Amino acid sequence: MNNALEANSLSINRSGKPVLNDISFTVPAGEIYALLGGNGAGKSTTLLTFLGFLEAASGSVSVQGEQVNKNVKKAREAIAYLPEAATLYGHMSAYENLRYFLDLANAKASDSELNEALDSVALQTAARSQHMVTYSKGMRQKTAIALAILRDSPILLLDEPTSGLDPLAIDEFNRLARKLADQGRTILMVTHDVYGACQVADRIGLLRRGKLVGAFDRTEGEIDTETVHRAFAERAST
Ligand SMILES: Nc1ncnc2c1ncn2[C@@H]1O[C@H](COP(=O)(O)OP(=O)(O)O)[C@@H](O)[C@H]1O
Ligand SMILES: [Mg+2]
């Protein structure tokens, strides 16, 4: 199977300090990979590298088999990115935000496609035409996820997609992510939520202070939350 995303012995420095240290992992097309780690582990840095915003000190990343530094534009075209603090406009409604940002990305969506995407994240119908300044954090996050989906890109990079979501909304997100993967989309998401990661991911990489210190794989059966939690906690305390 083709790998949609690959990190090969990737090391990254930021402000002269090592932030990622020799990490390697692959995400086959149509799979969900969760990079799990605590604050400052290097999760967001990893996503930025796939988008070509940071230069590798050594090693490389590839998108759809091509090294990102050789063709940044092509890599970005294949990717929809949900940033850690997605900023949508408070004085515009969800509909207006989606239309505006899709326009900027040269993507098109019909009214029914907008509603379909907002249905898939379970944003209340009545809220959709209200200014987003009235939204809860969870509602803003749902709208941002809908925007990422509407980009219609084969690869989704999601930075803490479930932050601000309640447990029911997280279940909803997990179902949505699985549906997208079943449709052939590839998802690389980063999170510090062990339970959520185990629920949704085909593979989990445990990142600690810039090093991949654990790997868990669904092909060996369900990923066991307790096992991952223990590895996460153990690593965190050392
Ligand atoms: N813009 C930046 N300039 C310099 N160092 C940064 C910058 N952003 C993050 N870092 C550092 O890189 C490390 C990893 O950060 P980050 O990738 O944001 O971690 P995570 O997303 O896992 O919380 C941290 O030590 C952080 O201080
Ligand atoms: Mg982060």
Helix runs in the chain, H state only: 43-50, 72-77, 94-104, 111-120, 137-150, 167-182, 194-200, 225-237
Backbone angles phi, psi at 52, to 5 degrees: 80, 20
Enumerate residues with CB within 5 Å of ligand 2 (an ion): 43-44, 84
Q: Per-residue pLDDT averaged across 171-191, rounded?
A: 94
Backbone angles phi, psi at 228, to 5 degrees: -70, -40
pLDDT, position 86: 80
CA of 69 to the centre of ligand 1 (A): 21
> Confidence class of residue 237 from pLDDT cuts 50, 70 and 90?
low
pLDDT, position 97: 97
Q: Per-residue pLDDT averaged across 103-114, rounded?
A: 92
Nearest atom within ligand 1 for CA of residue 37:
22
Closest listed residue to residue 52, CA positions, set 105, 115, 10: 10
Q: What are the sequence ranges of the domains in the chain?
A: 3-78+153-237, 86-152
Q: Identify which has the larger pLDDT, 91 or 236.
A: 91
Residue 199's region, left for phi above 0, alpha for psi from -120 to 50, else beta, is alpha
CA of 83 to the centre of ligand 2 (A): 9
State the CATH class of domain 3-78+153-237. alpha beta
Confirm or reject: Cβ of 53 under 6 Å from ligand 1. Answer: no
Confirm or reject: Cβ of 15 under 6 Å from ligand 1. Answer: yes
Residue 106: pLDDT over 90: no
Is residue 187 within 8 A of residue 156, CB to CB? The reply is: yes
Length of the chain: 238
pLDDT, position 236: 58
